[in-house]
Amino acid sequence: MSTIQNVTVAGSGVLGSQIAYQSAYCQKDVTIYDINQAAIDQAKERINGLRALYQRDLNITAEQFAAGLHRLTYTTDLSQAVAHADIVIEAITENPKIKHSFYQQLAQVAPQRTIFASNSSTLTPSMFMADTGRPEKFLNLHFANQVWLNNTAEIMGSPKTDPAIFSEVVAFAGEIGMIPIPLKKEQPGYILNSLLIPFLKSGLGLWTNGVADPHIIDKTWMKATGAPMGPFAILDMIGMRTPYNIIRTTATQENDQVMLAAAARLKTMIDAGQLGAESGQGFYHYPDPAFTQPDFLQTTTQAIPH
Ligand code: NAD
């Protein structure tokens, strides 16, 4: 058993709100921190939206869901948010500059005993350990979207992470209903994103290069491999902002013109409010997206240029 009871989740977007509620649902006392009241209000809405999903997927009662809600508190004051934290799980925007600055601020106000864990999809703990002032108590704890269902938690230390802290976080992940996946060494993208990101980029490349439309790309993958979703359905599930940030950053570093063009397409969708499943529209319409319909794999219509 871990000694972690008081959990602070910093950043209450798509993943932060899920991690926070899942921890509270599993009996932890959870404080949610975000930068302003609008973000907090949005988090409350997101978490209320989880009720139907938990009831549908885990068959729980409204009372069981409400018990989790009662273990959540919200604040925009970082000192207050972390005053009693055994662990801070950072789930803020996937942008190194913002994360550096966040850890520097956090290091000044968090108790020395507090463990810091980053949910970053692509950035390693080595990148931020100097900012934290406690490299031995810092590591990554990476969740997958829809944490209550896709319940993997990849745990990845830097070379400086204390093995005892690593074990503590492995135990904590189990206590909040995750299947802990300890990694033996640092790997940008862990196991999941080392596989997933090249896959999503390949799909976006096929679309941006004009080879095929998103639904056709998804159909091909689903029909040929038996997979339940293709790359564009997965992008919708993740939500467009995080893939956009990841792809734009790596494409800029690598001067990859196709991925820069793909990032621009994602940006157009984000600006139009097409954020994926959470906004009801992305590459598919929700709540009943075409890829879940029985006839989806039977049709292959797309405009063919002459
Ligand atoms: P998001 O854009 O939905 O949410 C980011 C949140 O961070 C927002 O609420 C924003 O207000 C807040 N924020 C920004 N700057 C902040 C600061 N300085 N202090 C506190 N809060 C701040 O993003 P997301 O998709 O939830 O991703 C968050 C993190 O989780 C990223 O590191 C991402 O790589 C990781 N992640 C995302 C997914 C996914 O499927 N979306 C999966 C695994 C991991």
pLDDT tens-digit map of 161-199: 999 999 999 999 999 999 999 999 999 889 998 999 999
Centre of ligand 1 to C-alpha 244, Å, is 12
Task: Report whether 140 contacts 156 (CB < 8 A).
Answer: yes
Weakest mean pLDDT among 186-200, 225-239, 289-303: 289-303
pLDDT at residue number 303: 66
Task: Give the pLDDT confidence of 49-65 residue by residue, as tens digits.
Answer: 999 999 999 999 999 99
240 has a pLDDT exceeding 80: yes
Best mutation site among 50, 90, 92, 124 for ligand 1 pocket (most ligand atoms within 8 Å of CB): 92
Take residue 240 and report the two structure tokens written for it: 């467009």
- Band (300; pLDDT cuts 50, 70, 90): confident
Q: Tell which wins on pLDDT, 306 or 226.
A: 226
Average pLDDT for 251-274: 97
- Band (242; pLDDT cuts 50, 70, 90): confident
pTM of the model: 0.84
Q: Is 28 in the pocket of ligand 1 (CB under 6 A)?
A: no
Q: Is 93 in the pocket of ligand 1 (CB under 6 A)?
A: yes
- Band (273; pLDDT cuts 50, 70, 90): very high
- Band (305; pLDDT cuts 50, 70, 90): low
Q: Is 145 in the pocket of ligand 1 (CB under 6 A)?
A: yes
Mean per-residue pLDDT of the chain: 96
Average pLDDT for 33-42: 98
Percentage of residues in the chain having pLDDT higher than 90: 93
pLDDT at residue number 299: 78
Nearest Cα to Cα of residue 207 among 221, 223, 228, 191: 221
Q: Is 8 in the pocket of ligand 1 (CB under 6 A)?
A: no
Average pLDDT for 144-148: 94
Q: Is 118 in the pocket of ligand 1 (CB under 6 A)?
A: no
Distance between CA atoms of residues 66 and 138, nearest Å: 32
Q: Residue 250's Cα: distance from chain center in Å?
A: 18
